[in-house]
Amino acid sequence: MTVRTAPTHEVGAARLRSVREMLDLAFEGNFDDEDWDHALGGLHAWIEDERGIAAHGAVVMRRLLHGGRSHRVGYVEGVGVRADLRRRGLGGEVMAELERVIDGAYAFGALAASDAGAALYRGRGWQVWEGRVEAFTPAGIVHLPEEEGGVFLRPAAGRPLPDPAAPLVFDWRDGDVT
């Protein structure tokens, strides 16, 4: 099985429907329309087999404010592996391709991990953000203490990670901000 990549507009409507169906099953009902919207507009990496989509992930551009500077960040979304193929390295193959994109195009990578997914990211060198998490909202900047401990960062090739002494301030979006 080979990892394929394409921007959202080149993936095709039928394949996007298949990806969404796989993610709905992989997340056991905890993947909603806003989560799907967050995974669109960037670059998708996926693996297919004779049964359809086996694994998927996407990287989208987001802006994070840190230390008075706005950073272009490769934000990882919609990572999932079909239940019958878990623990066979497919998630790692998809992540390797997304990390290649982050290394070439962004200041660093970021993602919010579920408890089930955290081991994959830790094993690939992603680090839990130890600092404060905030977000720009329609009401101004707000602290998101419930997100702390679940945000992971990965430096892009040759670049440092942000200093946790200053908060990460996420751009606003509907649904989960991180």
What is the secondary structure of 68-92 as a DSSP string? TEEEEEEEEEEEEE-GGGTTSSHHH
37-78: pLDDT as tens digits: 999 999 999 999 999 999 999 999 999 999 999 999 999 999
- Count the residues in the chain: 178
**Contact status, residue 95 vs residue 124, Cβ threshold 8 Å:** yes
User: pLDDT at position 116, please?
Assistant: 82
- Burial level of 24, CB count in 10 A (0-12/13-18/19+)? middle
% of the chain surpassing 70 pLDDT: 100
Kindly list the domain boundaries of the chain, sorted by start residue.
3-170
Residues of the chain with pLDDT under 50: none
CA distance 63 to 75: 9
Topology of domain 3-170, CATH: Aminopeptidase (3.40.630)
